[in-house]
């Protein structure tokens, strides 16, 4: 190795589990290379953006064969310190190629090699003379007077905020600028704090806040286990306030911002600080802006979905995860990670507390609390005067059902509607009916690319596959026998909506699902209309269950929640219970008490009874016992190796070889289950199969995975299929 040359170890986004070395002739470029900087490197026939992991001066290896790096993209490292270590940990824990992990942690523009450039929003500020000038002097320019008045009142206002406050502010603003009273700057918007009344915390809330406050100086994981409506958000706000007061930043992770605009709004109303939002509703530049604000420490609050867990933060002081049980924290493609679990590791590395909040905590988190790893903070009462809802099962066996609605439920709906309560019905199936069948010959609409039925969407006159997106126009005749008796089988939200409009013509029905909320802002408008009482009957999918506060809902009906009871997936029951309680939690959140009715054909199912009679606590204990007996997580560790290909036999052939290789490694205690075809074997034209790896402890699992994955990378069959590894899988298909 030449004296003036450095060897750079680079994380290159490639599916290979390796670090790649490049040469860097030091005097060819006048820059210093530091870990965390981006480089452009040639890789095969392509150029890729990689991240420096390490710079070494001496090497035993033959460096002449290595390529030189093409360009250094940054003057300073983008990924540093604890986030850097977090990503290294992720790569090891999830056995995912380090280059892809680093790449996933960067906003798209940076990943593509773009500049670290903050664009921000145009904001208007007062100059010194603008601050001092008396409004009276503008008596004859009323519009200018109005605009200046607004700025004197608010200090800083963005274009967007101005447009919300005033029409036609632009011309007077230009005039004021010409007079030197104001100027503009690209910077983060400061939310307008509305004077909200902050309720005094109740005793349980106060205990929770004090406990976290006492732990602010170090890593302390907390489970905030509070029933729906118990004031968890109020607890987050109070703790955040303390952290912000110390000049530190708060990271809040939420399942889906689009579905819970209320949470973001409550943070915005409470704190007059720049907030960096990170979610899929932003464009690439907005995401980059948020990332930069978080990194600089200019945004005191960072609120985001899953990937925000990797946001660099200069002064992180606290992490909050709302609805920690929610499945959307798990990334299901590519770099498969659990943002919740990564967040806990991040809090540990950053030496800050983390609060995991939920009314229905995951079994993993409950287990961690029981084992003493997390401290559990309980909120057992609903806040204010609200009472917990009464939940009952409605036995519909042998009952007359009209469009999936039992008479018992309909009667109760009438009663609540008459007393001017709102009714919320939950059915987690959109479309008109799950399939369409020919009464003459038995043909049913199947997807040609998946092992599943096409869902009938009546309004759009289409059949659509919910798994691959394939669509067909609805035709009036059976494609097989030309018969005209095509009939919808089963019920989706569209069909129930139709039935409700017929049954309750005097009330307004609102359907909320992905089909009715596709337009940007549509959900927000609907939520506002619900608050204003424009609709009396609300019908929706799980979108309706997430964190919403509907003070007038007094009755919740769950039309069909029992698919989970007999599912092949061992987590299905846990998910079902969480869904029932989350939906139920929308009832009776204000003065008026709530009732929840669950239509079921299995009123005697022991776990369902446990849930309804004893509540989530005892139910989850029973479920944990089952898991222990079955030796399933959290009492063991799992990983799932999946493979898919257009050829039916290849995935199983590859997994069989994988099985042999693993067996030959002879790691004690590890069990291999499979390979078997995935529950839905064909999806989007590809056949899928899986092999489950079970170990009593994580250590054994990792001892197998590390050497095994390198073998799989080198495997010939492995190049003919698409395969992936999922550590801690939450869905078994």
Alpha carbons within 13 A on the beta-carbon side of 317? 22
Site stretch for ligand ADP (CB under 6 A), options 232-240, 512-520, 650-658, 677-685: 232-240
Angle at 296 between CA 295 and CA 298, to 5 degrees: 115
Q: In the stretch 158-197, what mask flags binding to ligand ADP with x, by CB under 6 A?
A: ----------------------------------------
Q: Where are the beta strands (DSSP E) in 12-133?
A: 20-25, 38-43, 46-56, 71-72, 121-126
How far apart are the two ends of the chain, measured CA to CA in Å?
50
**Is residue 551 exposed (0-12), middle (13-18) or buried (19+ Cβ within 10 Å)?**
middle
Closer of 309 and 478 to Zn ion (Cβ)? 478
**Is residue 690 exposed (0-12), middle (13-18) or buried (19+ Cβ within 10 Å)?**
buried
729 near ligand ADP, judged by CB under 6 A:
no
602 near ligand ADP, judged by CB under 6 A:
no
Q: How far is it, in rounded angstroms, from Cα 230 to Cα 234?
A: 9
Cβ atoms 120, 188 nearer than 8 A: yes
215 near ligand ADP, judged by CB under 6 A:
no
155 near ligand ADP, judged by CB under 6 A:
no
Q: Which of 530, 492, 498 is nearest to 513 (CA)?
A: 492
Q: How far is it, in rounded angstroms, from Cα 475 to Cα 461?
A: 8
257 near Zn ion, judged by CB under 5 A:
no
Alpha helix locations (H) across 351-505? Answer: 363-370, 407-418, 493-503
Partner touching 309 among ligand ADP, Zn ion, none, CB below 5 to 8 Å by kind: none
**At its nearest, how many Å lie between ligand ADP and the CB of residue 238?**
9
345 near Zn ion, judged by CB under 5 A:
no
Q: How far is it, in rounded angstroms, from Cα 601 to Cα 406?
A: 12
Compute, in degrees rounded to 10, the torsion defined by CA atoms 468, 470, 476, 481: -70
Tokens of 711: 């073998």
Residues 234-253 within binding reach of ligand ADP (CB under 6 A): 234
Partner touching 233 among ligand ADP, Zn ion, none, CB below 5 to 8 Å by kind: ligand ADP
Contact residue for Zn ion among 480, 525, 563, 628 (CB under 5 A): 480
Query: Which residue's structure tokens are 């907390």?
Result: 222
* Total residues found in the chain within this entry: 733
Partner touching 475 among Zn ion, ligand ADP, none, CB below 5 to 8 Å by kind: none
Q: In the stretch 513-552, what mask flags binding to ligand ADP with x, by CB under 6 A?
A: ------------------------------------x---
Contact residue for Zn ion among 19, 175, 468, 472 (CB under 5 A): 468
588 near ligand ADP, judged by CB under 6 A:
no
Could you write out the three-class secondary structure of 548-569? CCCCCEEEEEECCCHHHHHCCC
Q: How far is it, in rounded angstroms, from Cα 600 to Cα 609?
A: 11
Closer of 179 and 549 to ligand ADP (Cβ)? 549
Q: Which of 500, 495, 346, 360 is nearest to 430 (CA)?
A: 495
Compute, in degrees rounded to 10, the torsion defined by CA atoms 359, 363, 366, 370: 160
**At its nearest, how many Å lie between ligand ADP and the CB of residue 226?**
5
Contact residue for Zn ion among 242, 314, 449, 702 (CB under 5 A): 449
Site stretch for Zn ion (CB under 5 A), options 291-299, 461-469, 541-549, 579-587: 461-469
Cβ atoms 686, 645 nearer than 8 A: yes
| CB count in 10 Å sphere of residue 577 | 23
226 near ligand ADP, judged by CB under 6 A:
yes
Residues 667-726 within binding reach of ligand ADP (CB under 6 A): none
Q: In the stretch 407-446, what mask flags binding to Zn ion with x, by CB under 5 A?
A: -------------------------------x-xx-x---
**At its nearest, how many Å lie between ligand ADP and the CB of residue 347?**
21
DSSP line for 178-196 = HTTSEEEEEE---PPPP--
442 near ligand ADP, judged by CB under 6 A:
no
**Is residue 664 exposed (0-12), middle (13-18) or buried (19+ Cβ within 10 Å)?**
exposed
489 near Zn ion, judged by CB under 5 A:
no
| CB count in 10 Å sphere of residue 646 | 14
Kind and range of the H or E element at 96?
Answer: none
325 near ligand ADP, judged by CB under 6 A:
no
Site stretch for ligand ADP (CB under 6 A), options 227-235, 491-499, 516-524, 618-626: 227-235
Closer of 516 and 579 to ligand ADP (Cβ)? 579
Q: How far is it, in rounded angstroms, from Cα 117 to Cα 213?
A: 36
Closer of 202 and 387 to ligand ADP (Cβ)? 202
Contact residue for ligand ADP among 38, 96, 232, 495 (CB under 6 A): 232
Closer of 201 and 665 to ligand ADP (Cβ)? 201
Q: In the stretch 358-397, what mask flags binding to ligand ADP with x, by CB under 6 A?
A: -------------------------xx-------------
Partner touching 478 among ligand ADP, Zn ion, none, CB below 5 to 8 Å by kind: Zn ion
375 near Zn ion, judged by CB under 5 A:
no
Angle at 406 between CA 405 and CA 409, to 5 degrees: 90
Closer of 267 and 426 to ligand ADP (Cβ)? 267
Site stretch for ligand ADP (CB under 6 A), options 57-65, 68-76, 198-206, 285-293: 198-206
Instruction: Give the interface size with Zn ion as a residue count (CB under 5 A).
Output: 15
Closer of 15 and 685 to Zn ion (Cβ)? 685
451 near Zn ion, judged by CB under 5 A:
no
Closer of 228 and 433 to ligand ADP (Cβ)? 228
Partner touching 480 among ligand ADP, Zn ion, none, CB below 5 to 8 Å by kind: Zn ion
Alpha helix locations (H) across 71-196? Answer: 81-93, 98-104, 108-111, 128-132, 142-154, 159-165, 170-178
**At its nearest, how many Å lie between ligand ADP and the CB of residue 715?**
49
**At its nearest, how many Å lie between ligand ADP and the CB of residue 380?**
11
455 near Zn ion, judged by CB under 5 A:
no
Closer of 447 and 640 to Zn ion (Cβ)? 447
Q: Is the peptide bond before 675 cis (omega within 30 degrees of 0)?
A: yes
**Is residue 564 exposed (0-12), middle (13-18) or buried (19+ Cβ within 10 Å)?**
buried
Tokens of 318: 């606290």
Contact residue for Zn ion among 123, 445, 465, 721 (CB under 5 A): 465
Q: Is the peptide bond before 634 cis (omega within 30 degrees of 0)?
A: yes
Using CB under 6 A, list all residues that contact ligand ADP. Answer: 199, 201-202, 205, 226, 228-234, 383-384, 549
Using CB under 5 A, list all residues that contact Zn ion. Answer: 438, 440-441, 443, 447, 449-450, 465, 467-468, 470, 478, 480-481, 483
């Amino acid at each position: 190795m030449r004296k003036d040359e450095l060897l750079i170890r680079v994380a290159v986004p490639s599916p290979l589990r390796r670090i790649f070395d490049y040469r860097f002739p030091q005097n060819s470029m006048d820059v210093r290379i530091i870990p965390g900087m981006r480089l452009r490197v040639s890789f095969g026939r392509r150029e890729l953006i990689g991240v420096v992991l390490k710079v070494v001066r001496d090497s035993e290896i033959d460096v002449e064969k290595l390529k030189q790096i093409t360009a250094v993209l940054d003057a300073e490292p983008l990924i540093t310190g604890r986030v850097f270590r977090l990503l290294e940990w992720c790569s090891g824990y999830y056995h995912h190629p380090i280059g892809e992990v680093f790449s996933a942690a960067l906003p798209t523009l940076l990943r593509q090699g773009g500049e670290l450039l903050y664009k921000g929003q145009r904001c208007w500020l007062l100059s010194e003379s603008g601050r001092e000038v008396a409004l009276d002097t503008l008596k004859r320019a009323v519009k200018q007077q109005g605009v200046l008045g607004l700025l004197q009142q608010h200090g800083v206002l963005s274009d967007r905020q101005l447009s919300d406050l005033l029409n036609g502010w632009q011309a007077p603003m230009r005039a004021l600028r010409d007079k030197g009273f104001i100027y503009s700057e690209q910077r983060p918007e400061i939310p307008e704090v509305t004077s909200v009344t902050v309720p005094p915390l109740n005793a349980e809330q106060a205990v929770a806040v004090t406990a976290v406050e006492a732990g602010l100086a170090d890593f302390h994981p907390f489970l905030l286990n509070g029933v729906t409506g118990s004031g968890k958000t109020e607890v987050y706000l109070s703790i955040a306030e303390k952290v912000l007061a110390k000049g530190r930043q708060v990271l809040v992770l939420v399942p889906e911002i689009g579905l819970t605009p209320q949470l973001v709004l409550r943070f915005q109303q409470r704190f007059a600080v720049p907030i960096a939002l990170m979610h899929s509703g932003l464009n690439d530049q907005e995401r980059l802006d948020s990332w930069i604000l978080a990194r600089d420490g200019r945004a005191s609050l960072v609120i985001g979905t899953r990937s925000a867990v990797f946001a660099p933060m200069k002064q992180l002081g606290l992490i909050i995860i709302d609805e920690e049980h929610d499945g959307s924290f798990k990334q299901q493609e590519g770099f498969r990670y659990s943002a919740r679990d990564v967040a806990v590791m991040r809090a540990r590395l950053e030496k800050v507390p983390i609060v995991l909040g939920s009314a229905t905590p995951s079994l993993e988190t409950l287990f961690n609390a029981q084992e003493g790893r997390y401290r559990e903070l309980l909120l057992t009462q609903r806040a204010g005067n609200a009472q917990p809802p009464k939940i009952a099962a409605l036995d519909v066996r042998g009952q007359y059902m009209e469009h999936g609605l039992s008479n018992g439920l309909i009667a109760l709906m009438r009663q609540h509607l008459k007393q001017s309560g709102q009714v919320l019905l939950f059915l987690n199936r959109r479309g008109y009916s799950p399939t369409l069948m020919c009464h003459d010959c038995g043909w049913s609409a199947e997807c040609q690319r998946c092992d599943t039925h096409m869902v009938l969407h009546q309004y759009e006159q289409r059949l659509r596959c919910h798994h691959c997106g394939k669509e067909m126009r609805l035709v009036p005749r059976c494609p097989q026998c030309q018969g005209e008796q095509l009939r919808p089988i089963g019920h989706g939200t569209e069909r129930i909506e139709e039935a409700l409009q017929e049954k309750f013509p005097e009330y307004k029905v609102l359907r909320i699902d992905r089909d009715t909320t596709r337009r940007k802002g549509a959900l927000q408008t609907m939520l506002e209309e619900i608050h204003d009482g424009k609709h009396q009957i609300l019908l929706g999918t799980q979108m309706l269950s997430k964190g919403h506060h509907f003070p007038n809902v007094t009755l919740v009906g769950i039309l069909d929640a029992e698919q989970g009871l007999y599912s092949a997936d061992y987590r299905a029951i846990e998910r079902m219970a969480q869904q029932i309680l989350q939906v139920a939690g929308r009832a009776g959140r204000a003065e008026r008490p709530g009732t929840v009715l669950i239509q079921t054909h299995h009123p005697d199912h022991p776990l369902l009874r446990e849930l309804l009679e004893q509540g989530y606590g005892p139910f989850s204990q029973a479920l944990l016992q089952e898991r222990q007996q079955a030796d399933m997580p959290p009492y063991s560790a799992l990983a799932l190796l999946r493979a898919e290909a257009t050829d039916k036999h290849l995935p199983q052939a590859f997994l069989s070889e994988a099985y042999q290789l693993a067996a030959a490694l002879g790691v004690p205690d590890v069990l291999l289950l499979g390979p078997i075809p995935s529950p839905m074997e064909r999806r989007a034209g590809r056949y899928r199969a899986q092999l489950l790896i079970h170990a009593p402890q994580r250590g054994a699992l990792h001892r197998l995975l590390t050497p095994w994955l390198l073998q799989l990378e080198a495997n010939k069959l492995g190049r003919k299929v698409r395969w992936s590894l999922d550590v801690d899988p939450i869905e078994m298909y």
